[in-house]
Amino acid sequence: MTPTLTPPAGTVAGPAADERCDRCSAAGKLRLTLAGGSELVFCGHHANRYAEDLVKITFFTTDGSPEALKLSREIRARKLGDLAPSSTFLVIAGLAGPDLKVEIEGEAVGAA
């Protein structure tokens, strides 16, 4: 099975259990918010389909510890392998909910 571009379970709110991939109706694994505010949900297969188009990844976190930075690097290496989009690690005061610790934002450029 191919890994998906999702952070570890419990670190961010993913798609609800009943959300389906917008491309094929499989179980949703990754929710993307577009610049205009609309959202897309992808299954693992379709999330990986766009991995090579990634040009930038930003990790937003409420934990600025060296361990959190190390974990972000491990996630990137595990999920992206040899792909090398630019990365930014930002420590912020808070996310949308007090239980959220990490948000990962990706920018991709490629043919639709």
Question: Which CATH number describes the domain made up of 51-108?
Answer: 3.30.1330.40
The overall pTM is greater than 0.85: no
The residue extents of the domains of the chain are 14-49, 51-108
* Sequential pLDDT tens for the chain (112 residues): 344 444 444 434 466 777 888 888 888 877 776 666 677 788 878 877 777 888 898 999 999 999 999 988 988 888 788 888 899 999 999 988 888 888 888 887 875 5
Secondary structure (H, E, C), the chain = CCCCCCCCCCCCCCCCCCCECCCCCCECCEEEECCCCCEEEECHHHHHHCHHHEEEEEEEECCCCHHHHHHHHHHHHHHHCCCCCEEEEEECCCCCCCCCCEEEEEEECCCC
